[in-house]
Amino acid sequence: MKIPTSLLAALVLGGLASGSGQLPTLKQAAQTRGVLIGGAVGSTLFDDLDPDYAATVGREFSVVVSENGMKWKALEGSPNEFVYGLADATVAWAAQHGVQVRGHTLIWHDSVPAWVYQLKTPAELRAAMQNHITQVMTHFGNRVLIWDVVNEAISDAPGHPLRANSPFALAGPDYIDAAFRWAHAANPAAKLYYNDYGAEALNGKSDAIYALVRGMQSRGVPISGVGFQAHLDANFSVKDSGMLENLKRFHDLGLDVQLTEVDVTLPAGGATPANLARQAQVYGDLMNACLGVKCSAFVMWGVNDAGSWRAGGKPLIFDDDYARKPAYGAVLGALQGH
């Protein structure tokens, strides 16, 4: 009997049959390379009607991020009243499954409750920021040792100054330094990251972030690394963008590099074999760039396409039904050095 190639590929990727025995899972392959691999998760992790979600995360990931559950609005919707429901559940699930947690995110202009916008003086705002950072990091303690302290603070405007449309601009130009110092004081064991999008390539924005973090280092601010979100599309070229060189210059500052929100939307035309192959190429190249600077984590922004914040672009490595896409094979292949 002739087995269709597509079925054969599915069987091989499923680990049911292969010439050299079972394929490792992503987390097994990543462990041998000293990198965490994972994704952002939501409340579907606890949905009994969608058991494949948690099964996929448990099988393949060594790190999770709560997609929205640790944002300021989720944790402190009213001043100094903290609600940890989904965040605690996610952290407990991770501990039970031997999975690490990336904390996301302490200071971000988005997902901020209205009361923060009503603070009118820099001193009031800074007190609220310090309290938020201190309370949240103290609550999680050593259960969360990786934190995005400041997210998306650099604007896309020409010259890439600090973002003006942020409630935190009122806190003064040194609010980023201050946030990292407060975070370090709250838990000196935690690794502290600056995280942003649109800075994967060698470009004006990555230049601005480079200048920012170099300045922080020169002022003795406790920053451990930089997170590159990597919300991309399948036309992105790791090679032509100078991404590896870009990541290297941050690594050369002694900073840790992580890819923190990877997703790669398909080109127009959708899930054709050619488009899926192009997407797979980008995923494999991203993992290779990450490994090229000894990155410590490769985190995707979701689990399966249907649950993605950009579901229309089918940007993840598992399809709507949690089947492994070609991009899964490319990530695994890169981890295995293929």
Residues in contact with ligand XIL by the rule CB under 6 A: 67-68, 151, 229, 261, 309
Is residue 249 within 8 Å of residue 209, measured between CB atoms?
no
Nearer to ligand XIL, 25 or 308 (CB): 308
Is residue 146 within 8 Å of residue 95, measured between CB atoms?
no
Nearest approach, Cβ of residue 297 and ligand XIL (Å): 14
As given in the structure block, the two tokens for residue 142 are 């050593």
Nearer to ligand XIL, 38 or 329 (CB): 38
Nearer to ligand XIL, 67 or 256 (CB): 67
Nearest approach, Cβ of residue 277 and ligand XIL (Å): 26
Give, for 329, the enclosing helix (H) or strand (E): helix 326-335
Nearest approach, Cβ of residue 3 and ligand XIL (Å): 39
Is residue 102 within 8 Å of residue 138, measured between CB atoms?
no
| Residue whose CB is nearest to ligand XIL in the complex, by number | 309
Is residue 53 within 8 Å of residue 307, measured between CB atoms?
yes
Residue 199 β-bridge partners: none
Is residue 267 within 8 Å of residue 233, measured between CB atoms?
yes
Nearer to ligand XIL, 227 or 284 (CB): 227
d(CA 89, CA 70): 11
Nearer to ligand XIL, 166 or 281 (CB): 166
Nearest approach, Cβ of residue 148 and ligand XIL (Å): 7
Nearest approach, Cβ of residue 238 and ligand XIL (Å): 20
Nearest approach, Cβ of residue 166 and ligand XIL (Å): 13
d(CA 193, CA 138): 17
HEC profile of 43-81: HHHHCCCCHHHHHHHHHHCCEEEECCCCCHHHHCCECCE
Percent composition of the chain: helix, strand, coil (DSSP 3-state, to 5): 45, 15, 40
Q: What is the DSSP string of 276-327?
A: HHHHHHHHHHHHHHHHHTT-SEEEES-SBGGGSTTGGG--SSB-TTSPBPHH
Residue 39 β-bridge partners: 64, 300
**Helices (H) then strands (E): counts for the chain:** 12, 10
Q: What letter would DSSP give residue 3?
A: P
Nearer to ligand XIL, 93 or 301 (CB): 301
Nearer to ligand XIL, 153 or 186 (CB): 153
User: Catalytic amino acids?
Assistant: 152, 261
Best CA proximity match to 87, nearest among 98, 100, 99, 103: 103
CA dihedral 299, 110, 149, 113 (to 10 degrees): -130
Nearest approach, Cβ of residue 337 and ligand XIL (Å): 30
